[in-house]
Amino acid sequence: MKYSYFPGCSLKGLGRSYEESLLPVMRHLGMELAELNDWNCCGATAYMSVDEGKAAVLAARNLAIAEKAGPEDLMTPCSACYLVLNKTKHNIADYPEINATVQRALGSAHLAYRGSVKVRHPLDMLVHDVGLDVVKEKVVRPLKGLKVAPYYGCQVVRPYATFDDAWNPTTMDRLLATLGAEVVPYPLKTKCCGGSLTGTVPEAGLRLTYILLKEAVRRGADVIATVCPLCQFNLDAYHDQISRRWGPTRIATVYFTQLMGLAFGLPPEQLGLKRNFIPMKPLQAQPTAA
């Protein structure tokens, strides 16, 4: 199965460990990924609130390049990029003015976008294209005894719940269960982590992060699995400030792909686990809360 791959800025920067774990896992499953040549920043959610037309053009350039590259499916692991590209597709299809702006701008770069690219999330691809049976076959080191809280964040389910339920998504739950982990019931799985508010309005943003961490610990999780670089960062990097403000919670947050890599027996050093602020306890160790 051949896919184009749009990493986005985060996966080459702060969210490096996402890419570091995602690519070997995908290779291990026989997925062919071709990183888009000369891709650009998608604009994230910020640019859309500044100038809708320009934001659409910025994001659409990636869609145009992907269309030219060949494979219909474009894997987009970062939640913000996933949402932005999908939203851009909708805007181009639903609003003729935006479409006109986009096509004109793309045209000046000798590009065009005809609407054929499918923006796919790795969870979607793993569960629906590869299939959990195939994933199970590759598991050589089941994550027995590891209690995982599956945290999806908001952008993969709102406003478009394209591959899972908006209120109670279960693709990652099922994937983690296939890896042998014990999936902890986690009602906050789509509750906002604070997003960029953790930087701009910390009292509000960090409080949201704190709520997620507290509940995960309360539910007995050893680790939180996430799909989004910003969620991972928020949940991982602010424990000092959070403990000072509200109370101690100490639990590691990793990417689900890192857990997949461990279960597949890939070398842990290659999965970027050392980049975490809060290290994940080694697999055999007993879980401890703060």
Partner 1 sequence: MNTNPKNGAVRIGFYICHCGHNIAGMVDCAAVALHIAKLPGVAVSRDYKYMCSDPGQELIQQDIREHQLNRVVVASCSPLLHEHTFRKAVAAGGLNPFYFQMVNIREHDSWVHTDRAEATAKAKSLSHAAVCRVRFHRALETTRVPINPDVLVVGGGIAGIHAALTVANSGKKVFLVERDPSIGGHMAQFDKTFPTLDCAACILTPKMSAVRSHENITLWTYSEVVKVEGYVGNYKVTVRRKPRYVNEELCAGCLECITACVFKEGKFPDEFNVGLSKRKPVYIPFAQAVPPVVVIDPERCLQVRTGKCKKTCIEACADRHAIDFSQKEERVEVQVGNIIVATGFKLFDAKRIPQYGYGHFPNVVTAIELERLVNSSGPTAGEIVLRDGRQPKSVGVILCVGSRDLKTNRWCSRTCCMHSMKLAQLVREHTGADVTVFYMDIRAPGKGYEEFYDKSLKEGIQFVRGRVAEVTDWAMAPEEEGKLVIRVEDTLAGFVRRIPLDMIVLAAGMEPQADSQEVRRMFNMSCGTEGWFLEKHPKLAPVSTFTDGVFIAGCCQGPKDIPDSVAQAGAAAAEAMALVDKGYIEQEPNTAYIVEADCSGCKSCLPLCPYTAILFDDAKQKARINGALCKGCGTCVASCPSGSIRQNLFEDEEIFSEIEGVLAYV
Residues that bind partner 1 (CB under 8 A): 165, 167-168, 187-188, 211, 214-215, 218
Neighbour count for residue 100 (Cβ, 10 Å): 12
Nearest CB to partner 1, comparing residues 55 and 216: 216
Strand partners, 149: 224
Residue 215 Cβ, how far from partner 1 at the closest point, in Å? Answer: 5
Alpha helix positions (H), 143-238: 171-178, 197-200, 202-218, 229-237
Residue 111 Cβ, how far from partner 1 at the closest point, in Å? Answer: 38
Nearest CB to partner 1, comparing residues 30 and 247: 247
Nearest CB to partner 1, comparing residues 151 and 264: 151
Strands of 32-35's sheet, edge to edge?
A: 32-35, 2-5, 73-75, 118-120
> What is the three-class DSSP state of 91?
helix
CA distance 30 to 20: 16
134: amino acid identity, one letter: V
Strand partners, 35: 5
Residue 167 Cβ, how far from partner 1 at the closest point, in Å? Answer: 4
Nearest CB to partner 1, comparing residues 44 and 188: 188
Nearest CB to partner 1, comparing residues 19 and 215: 215
Residue 85 Cβ, how far from partner 1 at the closest point, in Å? Answer: 26
Strand partners, 73: 118
Residue 151 Cβ, how far from partner 1 at the closest point, in Å? Answer: 13
